Amino acid sequence: MSVTYPKGFQASGVTAGCKPSGLPDLGLLVGEPGTMVAGLFTTNRVEAAPVTIGRARLRAGGSPRAVVVNSGQANAATGARGVADALAITARTGALLGLEDDTVLPSSTGVIGEPLHMERLLPALPTVVEALSKEGGAEFARAIMTTDTVDKQATAEAAGVRVGGCAKGVGMIAPDLATMLAFITTDAAIAQDDLHRLADEVLKPRFNAFTVDGSTSTNDTVLLFASGAAGHDRVGPGSGAWTAISGALAGLADDLVRQLIGDGEGVGHVVVVDVEGAHTEADARIVARAVADSPLVKTAAFGGDPNPGRILQAVGASGVGFEPTSLSVRIGDAVVAEAGVIPAAYFAPASELAERARRQMKDAEIPVAVSIGDGPGRARVFGCDLSYEYVRINGEYTT
């Protein structure tokens, strides 16, 4: 039941008629009184209206406990009309729930620039409110999908409390502070400041650790809700319960990220890039993202061609300083570069080294390990191949 697995939450998903497919496109998640929320949002300067409103409502120190999500239209690059539309939706939803406007957060995903279909969304709001259920997590997860082929849901349990979550997003993904849409719930009792800390320290690094196409979305949002409905004492940093819940959230986020990258638009191979030996973790992440985002590495993954020169090029062009003689690269267990040099044996006829690398490139998950020195910085980023299907999907996205 994903977001409704923890106690204190209800959710629903219905069809308002805003997507050409006719599939569910309007979702609602509501926490019981006392629910707290923390949020992470895109750093794209062209942010969507719901991001602007959501960020402002959380900064204002209010107590939002609901989010209404539409899929089909992103409500981005829609100007004053987009803000007015989002405010109208949260106001109407709040009225139907008996809540103040600012306790409802808006969220949208879909085509950028296309105005919301208010003539369909507003009449559908009573239906989505009436459909709220403690078993409605799956319907909510399906309603937030766009080009996703499957819904993404996960649950976990630790220290007597539950966590649940769902996410969507298969294209325009290169997270920076947050990514796509993700909604995570727990029935633990957690203070507002501590909930923000969990979002920053546990969720942010994980939802930043994958990239489909190097494109940071205008709508990226991750919301973490805590209802306190488990009935236990408040959880705070330094306690055993805090450690357990942090671990459960980390595992759930990792699960959702693997589901997201596995369902990326046109994805046939997931590329797992591990970088070590950098001066800092930030440097290691930059290098890993450079490899994962490289069109040349992505197309090589699609074609099953190890071509180590493409990986070296991406590392060297990342902007991170290192000595070329300290660079080594492995594809699976095949060392395809050492001390900055690709072994001559790699290019020999019937090369056993090249064949081992090629076999690894045909797997669904391709591990690439890069070392750039002996520093403490290390990071992992999930990437994927670039296929004909990705080009087809995005070549006809609005047609």
Contact assessment for residue 306 and residue 336, using Cβ atoms and an 8 Å cutoff: yes
Backbone angle region of 9, left / alpha / beta, with phi > 0 → left and psi within -120 to 50 → alpha: beta
Catalytic residues: 179
- Give the whole-angstrom CA distance, residue 144 versus residue 219: 13
Residue 374 burial (CB < 10 Å; 0-12/13-18/19+)? exposed
Backbone angle region of 315, left / alpha / beta, with phi > 0 → left and psi within -120 to 50 → alpha: alpha
Nearest to 37 by CA among 229, 224, 246: 224
Q: C-alpha angle 370/372/375, rounded to 5°? A: 120
Q: Concatenated DSSP letters for 322-384?
A: --GGG-EEEETTEEEEBTTB--GGGGSTT-HHHHHHHHHHTSSEEEEEEE-SSEEEEEEEEEE
Contact assessment for residue 242 and residue 293, using Cβ atoms and an 8 Å cutoff: no
Contact assessment for residue 289 and residue 384, using Cβ atoms and an 8 Å cutoff: no
Nearest to 375 by CA among 273, 272, 282, 290: 282
Find the helix packing angle between 49-59 and 79-97, rounded to 10°.
60
Q: Decide: helix, strand or coil at residue 248.
A: helix
**C-alpha separations of 134 from 131, 151, 157, 192, 320 in Å:** 10, 18, 17, 24, 49
